[in-house]
Amino acid sequence: MHKINRQELNRRFIDVFQLLVDKEEIVKSDRSKSKTAFAQKLGTKGHIIDLYLQGKRKITYEQVKLLCSCYGISEAFMFQGIGLPFDQSKLPDSEEKLAIALGINFSPNILFTNVEAFASNTIGVDLLEENERFHIPGVNGDLVAFNINGASMAPTILSGDMVICKPLETHVEMIDNEIYAVVANQSVWVKRVQKCFDRHHKWTHLKLISDNHIEFDPFIIEIGEIQKLLKVTRRLTGLG
């Protein structure tokens, strides 16, 4: 589980507060949008918000959850510093200018499928055609992302996590004992893998291993059955 740095969390809150002011979601002269009204939505008082903004106190996790719910702020950004505070299609001018100044690339390079890849079961390859894309600053290349539903890779990857994968150009790029999404026989498995060789030292099979090996046995597939290998490069957790 991603460890949350309270100081960084509060710093992101300060940044988001200013963005909300820029968007006129917080307006001093408007009672319904005042700092007091804002504080009430977070279950606190205006002077407590001032202490957060001054760095004298730190915002609570529960208040951050309310902030995200009330103002459409990304929990991934607040809790993990991933992505941007708002959906990029709704970015206020001030944030867009800031992002450009920081050299953030908005090109959506990660394909997010509408299919949950089962860690303990399989899914049809023909379903991996969702065209929704997104971008995470600092994560480059043409990538694929999907959610995990299953316990076979626990505790490394938990049910509900999102994994981001990089397709391999050739099978020889594969490294033993690392985690891959293996596409074969019209199915996808997310497993730790090992190469298997015949007596002539020819690579013939791939062993797929679950980290939750107590409940899930390893199994073997032939190399010729593999349609695609994707290296799991990043796991995002706590997004729900």
C-alpha 191/C-alpha 209 separation (Å) is 6
Range of lowest pLDDT (113-127, 148-162, 183-197): 113-127
Question: How do residues 5-23 score in pLDDT, each as one tens digit?
Answer: 788 889 999 999 998 998 8
Range of lowest pLDDT (113-117, 184-188, 233-237): 113-117
Q: Are 128 and 189 in contact (CB under 8 A)?
A: no
| pLDDT at residue 149 in the model | 81
- E strands of the chain, at which residues? 110-117, 133-134, 143-148, 162-167, 179-184, 187-197, 203-209, 219-222, 226-236
**pLDDT above 90 coverage of the chain, percent:** 41
Nearest C-alpha neighbor of 131 from the set 113, 108, 107 = 113
pTM assigned to the model: 0.54
Beta pairing class for 143-148 and 162-167:
antiparallel
| pLDDT at residue 107 in the model | 61
C-alpha 25/C-alpha 32 separation (Å) is 10
Per-residue pLDDT for 132 more than 50? Answer: yes
The pLDDT confidence band at residue 202, using thresholds 50, 70 and 90, is very high
Per-residue pLDDT for 140 more than 80? Answer: no
Domains of the chain: 6-101 (no CATH), 110-236 (2.10.109.10)
Higher local confidence (pLDDT), 156 or 136: 156
The pLDDT confidence band at residue 144, using thresholds 50, 70 and 90, is confident
C-alpha 73/C-alpha 82 separation (Å) is 12
Residues 6+ apart with CB under 8 A from 115: 123, 124, 127, 128, 130, 146
| pLDDT at residue 129 in the model | 44
Average pLDDT score over residue span 175-182: 94
C-alpha 17/C-alpha 85 separation (Å) is 10
Question: Looking at this protein, which amino acid is placed at residue 214?
Answer: I
Best-predicted range by mean pLDDT among 3-12, 117-126, 218-227? 218-227
Q: What is the DSSP string of 127-195?
A: G-----EE--TT--SSEEEEEE-SSTTTTTS-TT-EEEEEE-SSGGG--TTSEEEEEETTEEEEEEEEE
Question: Looking at this protein, which amino acid is placed at residue 132?
Answer: E
Residues 6+ apart with CB under 8 A from 6: 58
Q: Report the SS3 class of residue 116.
A: strand
Which residue in this structure is represented by tokens 């799991």? 232
Per-residue pLDDT for 147 more than 80? Answer: yes
